[in-house]
């Protein structure tokens, strides 16, 4: 599933790479007179470098017309290309194979890099250089290994000096799908790594070809083949003595170049550890996409990344539009005198505003979760089934109940396993008033992604002083929506919210509350928000605060106010009287919280609801 713009680019890139490779392979075998090892070199490099491989091939190596290959390839820059192709084809193949295997094994990034270097070097030296080049170089296999060691070492070092930091920074960057070989992005990073590695290895290859330390491009016209355009004595390879590898480089020059190559390698492998945490592995964080602007340094633990990561759009099981509301009252079924509620968690796509959706964690496919409404004295059972991609629990905020039913993960219970785990919460409601339930496992992530709902408990004996003509619940939440992905909003760098909802909607998609002049409206403010305090204000005159955190205030303690600071976890029950006709607002008084992505639409956004008084 393609979830980011880069994914579409990569599909195009790899389609081009496939077409490029097919063209080079076809043209090499059909039209180009050179040894098989170079044909394979160009084919592999084009697979990794896509259209750039074709570019190098036609500019430096493809015979312009029959019989011209020998002269066409003579320029030193072309010989350098040939030599680098040769190195990159072998080394990169080893590196890519090693990267795919180490990622699958879940090894930390720093071990990855070392294994990749060793494998790339071994592949290049023992297979591509010494084995495939044997007929070019003459001599025995082990003579070739000895002769190729230093040139291969220099070229490999410079290549890895470019490829290693490219891989490190991109794999451990914001989109860590790049660490997973099952993701297109992993292969995209490998391709870019090869391109950068080619560029950093190229200058040393030019120097080595010039000084007879490495082969560049070659022509091979086997007698009797279609490439046999010359006279017989000019055709064929070089049966003895290879290409006359006489080095013009002095030992001092060689030592200096090799030394610098080693230094470049060390910098490329080690320096990135200043910025990214190389102790992490694909298994720790692979696949996580981090919010833009998040501080990612070398100390940041995998757990922090997982908690702040985007909801994976591939986990979404259902998609809801503006026609579906949250906070819908859930009817219990009775089981031997117990009121039984069923709550199911899942990942859904939820519309908070026309054209704006979030990927959310939800109870029963709604944000907020269903309204659990029962009576003081009721025996309650709540079956929580977990279909999230992670463990969860539920806490019944403010209730007096047995400790084992309280919900904190690893403290009073083992978390409910992902992919279908079940936990039965059962208790008797001894209190009454406005309460909430919410996740108590990785709350910072799960509650911020939507795992919360209202619990309304009617008093055993009705209290007319708490009643009003109308009731409205206000469940608050913040969202972080960037680049089409939903991240849990937190008061943390890069995780600050940009959308705000009341009952799962941002103004102007929030409800309108119709009432008549002289009628009363009971608003239950519920601090279901995860990390932000909202000073909630009602226009059109003061309200009376009648209950705080579910506790009814005695009549002497009730007070008039027009703003209450609703902190996470708090509840305020207030009764407001419609004194004048018109449109009266309920809104948060942090002005930024009444915008959508910092845009004001139709007079506001976010935490705003209109009371329509007629
Ligand atoms: Cu606010």
The three-state (H, E, C) secondary structure of 300-366, written as one string? CCHHHHHHHCCCCHHHCCEEECCCCCCCCECCCEEECCEEEEEEEEEEEEEEEECCEEEEEEEECCE
Q: Which residues of 97-110 are buried (b: 16+ CB within 10 A; e: fewer)?
A: ebbbebbeeebbbb
Number of domains in the chain: 3
Q: 219 CA to middle of ligand 1, Å? A: 73
The reply to whether 186 falls in a domain is: yes
Per-residue HEC secondary structure of 428-465 comes to ECCCCEEEEEEECCCHHHHCCCCCEEEEEEECCCCCHH
212 domain residue, yes or no: yes
| In a shared domain, residues 482 and 459 | no
Residue 35 lies in a domain: yes
What is the CA(379)–ligand 1 centre distance, in A?
Answer: 36
Are 190 and 52 found together in one domain?
yes
- How far from 402 is each of 382, 395, 396, 425, 426, CA to CA, in Å? 14, 12, 11, 10, 9
Is residue 289 assigned to a domain?
A: no
Say how many Å lie between the first and final Cα of the chain, rounded.
Answer: 50
Determine the distance separating the centroid of ligand 1 and the alpha carbon of 588, expressed in angstroms.
Answer: 5
Q: Which two tokens stand for residue 537?
A: 């204000």
Query: Token digits for 30?
Result: 């059909």
Specify whether 452 is located in the same domain as 520.
no
Query: Residue 302's CB: how many other CB atoms inside 10 A?
Result: 17
Instruction: Output the pLDDT for position 595.
Output: 97
For residue 592, report the distance from its CA to the centre of ligand 1, in Å. 7
Looking at the fold, whether 270 and 338 belong to one and the same domain comes out as no
Same domain for 58 and 199?
yes
Would you state the pLDDT for residue 100?
87
Distance 479 CA to ligand 1 centre (A): 12
Answer yes or no: do 234 and 348 share one domain.
Answer: no
In a domain, 222, yes or no: yes
Domain containing 76 equals 16-284
d(CA 587, ligand 1 centre) in Å:
8
What was the pLDDT predicted at 224?
64
Residue 488's pLDDT is what?
97
In the block, which residue shows the tokens 């819908």? 328
**Secondary structure of 308-325 as H, E, C letters:** HCCCCHHHCCEEECCCCC
Are 450 and 482 part of one and the same domain? no
> Whole-angstrom Cα distance, residue 187 to residue 191?
6
- Cα–ligand 1 centroid distance for 528 (angstroms): 12
Q: Which residues contact 394 (CB under 8 A, 6 or more apart)?
A: 343, 382, 384, 407, 423, 425, 437, 438, 439, 440, 451
Gap from CA of 206 to ligand 1 centroid (Å): 63
Span 202-258, pLDDT tens digits: 999 999 999 988 878 888 877 666 666 554 444 333 433 344 456 778 889 999 999
CA of residue 367 to ligand 1 center, whole Å = 18
For residues 387 and 482, membership in a common domain is answered with no
Closest CA to 480 of 313, 370, 597, 580: 597
Residue 118 Cα to ligand 1 midpoint, Å, equals: 55
Q: ∠ CA 606-547-462 to the nearest 5 degrees? A: 120
534 CA distance to ligand 1 middle (Å):
4
372 alpha carbon – ligand 1 mean position (Å): 25
Separation of 435 CA from ligand 1 center, angstroms? Answer: 20
Per-residue model confidence (pLDDT) at position 363: 98
- DSSP assigned state of 288: -
Would 403 be classed as within a structural domain?
Answer: yes
The SS3 of residue 576 is: strand
**Ligand 1 centroid from CA 606, angstroms:** 9
Distance 449 CA to ligand 1 centre (A): 17
**Res 227: pLDDT:** 64
Contact 45, 89 (CB under 8 A): yes
The alpha carbon of 59 and the centre of ligand 1 are apart by a number of angstroms equal to 62
Does residue 192 share a domain with residue 120?
A: yes
Supply the pLDDT for residue 245.
57
d(CA 324, ligand 1 centre) in Å: 24
Rounded distance from Cα 590 to ligand 1 centre (Å): 5
Distance from C-alpha of 409 to C-alpha of 392, rounded to nearest angstrom: 7
Distance between Cα 548 and ligand 1 center (Å): 19
Residues near 2 by Cβ (< 8 Å), separated by ≥ 6? 8, 11
State the CATH number of the domain containing residue 528.
2.60.40.420
Q: What is the pTM of this model?
A: 0.88
CB 386 within 8 A of CB 345: yes
Tell me: do 426 and 499 sit in the same domain.
no
Tell me: do 267 and 320 sit in the same domain.
no
- Asked if residue 568 is part of any domain, the answer here is yes
Rounded distance from Cα 529 to ligand 1 centre (Å):
9
Q: Is residue 351 part of a domain?
A: yes
Low-confidence stretches of the chain (pLDDT < 70) are: 134-137, 223-246
| Residue 26 and residue 172 share a domain | yes
Residue 347 CA to ligand 1 centre (angstroms): 26
């Amino acid at each position: 599933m393609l979830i980011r713009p880069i994914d579409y680019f990569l599909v195009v890139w790899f389609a081009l790479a496939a077409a490029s490779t097919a063209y080079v392979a076809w043209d090499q075998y059909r039209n180009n007179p050179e040894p098989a090892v170079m044909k394979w070199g160009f084919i592999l490099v084009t697979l990794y470098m896509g259209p750039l491989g074709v570019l190098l091939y036609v500019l430096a190596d493809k015979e312009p017309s029959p019989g011209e290959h020998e002269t066409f390839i003579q320029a030193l820059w072309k010989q350098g290309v040939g030599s680098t192709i040769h190195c990159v084809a072998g080394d990169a193949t080893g590196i890519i194979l090693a990267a795919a295997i180490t990622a699958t094994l879940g090894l930390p990034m720093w071990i990855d890099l070392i294994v990749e270097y060793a494998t790339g070097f071994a592949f290049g030296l023992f297979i591509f250089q010494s084995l495939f080049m044997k007929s070019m170089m003459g001599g025995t296999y082990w003579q070739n290994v000895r002769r190729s060691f230093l040139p291969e070492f220099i070229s490999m070092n410079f290549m890895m000096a470019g490829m290693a930091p490219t891989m490190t920074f991109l794999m451990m960057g914001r989109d860590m799908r790049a660490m997973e070989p099952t993701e297109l992005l992993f292969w995209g990073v490998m391709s870019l790594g090869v391109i950068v590695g080619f560029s950093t290895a190229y200058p040393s290859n030019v120097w080595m070809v010039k000084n007879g330390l490495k082969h560049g491009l070659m022509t091979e016209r086997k007698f009797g083949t279609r490439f046999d355009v010359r006279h017989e004595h000019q055709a064929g390879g070089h049966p003895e003595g290879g290409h006359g590898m006489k080095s013009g480089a002095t030992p001092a020059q060689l030592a200096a170049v090799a030394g610098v190559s080693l230094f470049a390698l060390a910098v490329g492998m080690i320096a990135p550890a200043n910025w990214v945490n190389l102790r992490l592995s694909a298994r720790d964080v692979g696949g996580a996409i981090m919010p833009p602007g998040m501080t990612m340094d070398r100390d940041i633990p995998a757990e922090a990344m997982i908690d702040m990561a985007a909801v994976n759009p591939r986990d979404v099981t259902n998609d809801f539009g503006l026609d579906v509301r949250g906070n819908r009252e859930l009817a219990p079924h009775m089981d031997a005198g117990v009121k039984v509620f069923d709550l199911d968690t899942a990942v859904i796509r939820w519309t908070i505003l026309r054209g704006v959706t979030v990927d959310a964690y939800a109870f029963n496919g709604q944000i907020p979760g269903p309204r659990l409404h029962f009576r003081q004295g009721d025996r309650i059972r709540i079956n929580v089934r977990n279909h999230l991609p992670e463990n969860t629990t539920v806490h019944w905020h403010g209730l007096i109940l047995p400790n084992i039913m309280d919900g904190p993960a690893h403290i009073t219970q083992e978390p409910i396993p992902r992919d279908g785990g079940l936990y039965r919460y059962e208790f008797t409601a001894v209190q009454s008033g406005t309460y909430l339930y919410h996740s108590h496992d990785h709350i910072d992530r799960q509650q911020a992604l939507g795992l919360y709902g209202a619990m309304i408990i009617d008093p055993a004996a009705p209290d007319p002083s708490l009643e009003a003509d109308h009731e409205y619940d206000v469940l608050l939440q913040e969202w972080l929506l960037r680049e089409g992905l939903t991240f849990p909003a937190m008061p943390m760098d890069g995780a600050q919210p940009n959308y705000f909802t009341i009952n799962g909607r941002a103004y102007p998609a929030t409800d309108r509350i119709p009432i008549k002049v002289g009628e009363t409206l009971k608003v239950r403010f519920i601090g279901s928000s995860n990390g932000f305090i909202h000073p909630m204000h009602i226009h059109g005159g003061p309200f009376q605060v009648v209950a705080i955190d579910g506790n009814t205030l005695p009549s002497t303690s009730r007070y008039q106010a027009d703003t209450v600071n609703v902190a996470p976890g708090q509840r305020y029950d207030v009764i407001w009287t419609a004194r004048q006709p018109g449109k009266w607002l309920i809104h948060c008084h942090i002005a930024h919280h009444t915008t959508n992505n910092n845009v004001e639409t139709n007079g506001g956004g976010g935490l705003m609801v209109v009371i329509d008084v007629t």
